[in-house]
Amino acid sequence: MMGGLCSQLAALLLLLLLPSPAHGAEESQDQPVFSRIIGGQDAQEGIWPWQVSVQQYDNKREYYHICGGSLISAQWVVSAAHCFDLSTPVSAYRMNLGEHQLSNPSPTRISSPVRRIVRHPDYNENTGVADVALVQLTEPVAFTDTIRPVSLPGPSTQFPAGEKCWVTGWGLIGWGCKDTLPPPQTLQELRVPLVDSSTCRDHFRDCKRPIQEDMLCAGSEVNRDSCKGDSGGPLVCPRNGNFILAGLVSWGIKCTQSTPVPPGVYVRVPVYVNWIQNVTGGTGLSIVSPAVLSAGTTPPGPLSNGLICSCLALALLLAGLLLPAL
């Protein structure tokens, strides 16, 4: 009963806080701005608390960003298999949590060494199949407002074509992914529609990499997409005021000059949820049952960043909003 009351309060509060169509984020997201991850924008600090910067040191033993990732529990990060070279020692990698601006590090960020990296045994670098890897941190991290795991979908969760989801990262930007993200290298967010598999296969029919069953496509026809450096990062979709991890940035080779621009290709996370559970032991994972999921269009905000808010806190906040109007 308490859970139902909390849900009702959350829904009412969300309706009060959502912007009007004339001024809201819903409308502004559809305006092309070709200056970020091909049409993305600066993310608010802490809005995507599961976002990870996968970093590797160079010959000078200085770390640099190579890929994205998602925190899924206190000690595990999920990313793309192609981000990790088996010939590179595990000690060469680190996972930065709570990052917002890479060249202006937050004092609350956590830079964690890596205990082990597990690439999926079926990963094929030629076809892109099973492009998923798990990274175990040396020690569990304490969750904060800016460091928190993302929920995983169940194995049978469906993500319908046309649904609007969010991809985030610090990858290359601009036309053709030719430019480095300028200082202070703020995390970019981009809202993209999911594309049905048959349409996606048509886009890539002349490519060496056909679209497989474990792949999910997303993107628009106005040059909005993820780029190199975003690999392994999260594609999250809204469900009941929360977000769940639908995909991982995998590839988007422009092997044709076709118009419209081909969508980006992501790892379909539900396909690998059982494998993730087996490798991690399942401890600390939040896997949302499809029975309680319903697609939504909730924009990112304090109620949709994966934080668990109490019913009492919601009631107090709701009262604070309503009292001035009485």
- Select which of 79, 120, 131, 151 is catalytic: 131
- Select which of 82, 100, 120, 203 is catalytic: 82
pLDDT of residue 59: 77
Q: Which domain, by its residues, includes 149?
A: 30-304
Residue 82 annotated in active site: yes
Is residue 316 one of the residues assigned to a domain? no
CB 250 within 8 A of CB 130: no
Q: What is the mean pLDDT of each run of 10 residues along the chain (326 residues)?
A: 39 32 30 39 93 91 92 98 95 96 92 98 95 98 97 95 94 54 87 92 84 90 49 93 94 58 89 98 87 50 36 37 40
pLDDT of residue 207: 79
Buried b (16+ CB within 10 A) or exposed e, 130-158: bbbbbbbbeeebebeebbbbbbbbbeebe
What is the number of domains present in the chain?
A: 1
The CATH number assigned to the domain holding 102 equals: 2.40.10.120
Is residue 3 one of the residues assigned to a domain? no
pLDDT of residue 317: 37
Q: How far apart are CA 280 and CA 25, in angstroms?
A: 37
Stated pTM of the model = 0.76
Residue 231 annotated in active site: yes
Is residue 152 one of the residues assigned to a domain? yes
Phi/psi at 97 (5° precision)? -110, 150
Is residue 41 one of the residues assigned to a domain? yes
pLDDT of residue 179: 52
- In 3D space, the residue among 159, 157, 154, 160 whose CA is nearest the CA of residue 276 turns out to be 154
- Select which of 70, 151, 231, 304 is catalytic: 231
pLDDT of residue 269: 98
Residue 131 annotated in active site: yes
Is residue 15 one of the residues assigned to a domain? no
pLDDT of residue 117: 98
Q: Which tokens go with 4?
A: 């139902």
pLDDT of residue 172: 59
